[in-house]
Structure 1
Amino acid sequence: MPFSSLLYEISDRVAYITLNRPEKRNALHPQLVAEIKQALTDAAHDDAVKLIVLKANGPAFSAGADLEYLQQIRHFNLEQHIQDTKDLCGLYEQIYFHNKVVIAWVQGHAIAGGCGLAAVCDFCYSTSEAKFGFTEVKIGFIPAIVSVFVSRKIGEGRAKALLLSGELISAQQAEQLGLIDEVFPANDFMEKVQQKLQNLLYGASAFSLMQTKKLLHQVQDVPIREALERAIMANAEARNHPDCRRGIDAFLNKQHIHW
């Protein structure tokens, strides 16, 4: 599908998905949600893509819900609200369960749904000036879908404090909570996140990244013995993969491996 609300490009095995509604502070609306999902699908099925970067043009990463769309949903019936919520849930699920590592580059404020979009990624790096928060309760909404992911990520107690207060926090506070991974000054941001990208891109097997992410999801909600059985099988299967043999050969021969 042609994209009108984002930019999609592949460079050096990285798919860059760039939210491109700077005049609307990259607020989420159905068209943008659908386009992000399509871009993620394209990247999932492209063997030339190893990593995915989600970023945005303009001063904000994403301000959450689009104001014009909020006007429309005031007139929705229950069935329409359910479908609309399912669409957004599908986006978060697609990122969370994606077969490739998804990295958020947050160069400006990430609020409400935009904060959820950043938090659900496998890695999230931010400029020091950015603010984060789930402000839904302040306007009579609830941070419903994102609460499931955020409570898993930072724990119930921290999630309650963040989701119930509706307060905005600094990037440094978000890092301390475990909501995001690392904060960099704006003038060093691109250099630092590119270094992080290169470490994943050339320092780790694509197969290993994919299978590790998959296993982490599989063992979340099962009894420990079942989780260990799944881990045993995943480990055995990985040892049979060509990447493992290649890695062992390089290690034994004291060679640097360039994935």
Structure 2
Amino acid sequence: MTDPIILTDIDENGVATVTINRPDVHNAFNEHVISALDNAFKSLGDNEAVRVIVITGAGKSFSAGADLNWMKAAAEFSREENIADANGLSGMLATLNFCPKPTIALVNGAAFGGGVGLVSCCDIAIAVGGAKFSLSEVKLGLTPATISPYVIAAIGERAARRYFLTAERFDGLEAKRIGLVHETAPSIEEASALVDGLVTTMLANAPEAQAEAKDLIFAVSGKEITDDLRADTARRIAERRASVEAKEGLTAFLEKRRPKWSIG
């Protein structure tokens, strides 16, 4: 029996680790990987026991993006088949991007094409400094279409206008400079330690409030400040103030104890 292409582990604190498990092809995507990732992200997002999701790759690479054999086969698809296939990838990225749980990419090695898309969809990204990144699609006569909303949100239009067109490779330090990753570390051990620290920090926070805070970003980002937007933000804080979590958080603060959701 072959190993599963996606490994999912949930520890006693509700920290889920999702590992793309195709090291022999640098964790490249095909339709099976995309479907398995989509199912994993949906399942973990719905699982009340899960507090944080960490995404990484097996072996020396994070993800090389699209499997070239899969892309070669797709070139022979009908237009309708190609649209359906592309919608599968687009749907998986959206599932990850809008997952209600905090998500962290642990970029252990190369991230190309769709791998950069995965990183961009995560709330936080930590990379080994020597990891290589590339939006390599134009080298193959393609474009980074399905990942573009998330990558541009992460790195901005100016950096996208360089890296979408040049397909240059860049390292973790440049990835940090342009906003693709938040922190870099010299080794995978030190990168993992940074992730562990972030996980510990997030496990001290209210999980429902985290989910609502994430949704708030999507509701507000890039929007004009209108009466409707102000009304929506006022409604959100009013409802949150009356929530069970908020009452517990305030009570715990006044009683000088940790709130019930805090782990660690």
TM-score range normalised by the length of the shorter chain: over 0.9
Unaligned runs of 5+ in 2: none
What corresponds to 2:144 in structure 1?
Answer: 143
CA distance, structure 2, for counterparts of residue 205 and residue 75 of structure 1? 49
What corresponds to 2:251 in structure 1?
Answer: 249
What corresponds to 1:6 in structure 2?
Answer: 6
CA distance, structure 2, for counterparts of residue 86 and residue 134 of structure 1? 19
Q: Give how far 1:4 is off.
A: 2.3
What corresponds to 1:182 in structure 2?
Answer: 183
User: What percentage of aligned pairs have identical amino acids?
Assistant: 30
Q: Give how far 1:234 is off.
A: 1.0
The answer to whether the 8 Å contact 1:3/1:35 transfers is no
Aligned to 2:216, what secondary structure does the other structure show? helix
What corresponds to 2:225 in structure 1?
Answer: 224
CA distance, structure 1, for counterparts of residue 97 and residue 232 of structure 2? 19
TM-score (norm 2): 0.92
Q: Give how far 1:253 is off.
A: 3.3
1:80-137 per-position Cα deviation (integer Å, ceiling 9, x unaligned): 1111111100011111111111111110010001111111111111111101120101
Aligned to 1:103, what secondary structure does the other structure show? strand
The answer to whether the 8 Å contact 2:127/2:172 transfers is yes
The answer to whether the 8 Å contact 2:64/2:115 transfers is yes
What corresponds to 1:107 in structure 2?
Answer: 108
What corresponds to 1:91 in structure 2?
Answer: 92
Q: Give how far 1:252 is off.
A: 2.6
Superposition pairs for residues 21-170 of structure 1, below 5 Å? 21-170=22-171
Q: Give how far 1:227 is off.
A: 2.3
Q: Give how far 1:256 is off.
A: 4.1
The answer to whether the 8 Å contact 1:147/1:163 transfers is no
What corresponds to 2:238 in structure 1?
Answer: 236
TM-score (norm 1): 0.94
C-alpha RMSD over aligned residues: 1.6
The answer to whether the 8 Å contact 2:20/2:57 transfers is yes
What corresponds to 2:193 in structure 1?
Answer: 191
Q: How many residues align?
A: 257
Aligned to 2:149, what secondary structure does the other structure show? helix
Aligned to 2:77, what secondary structure does the other structure show? coil
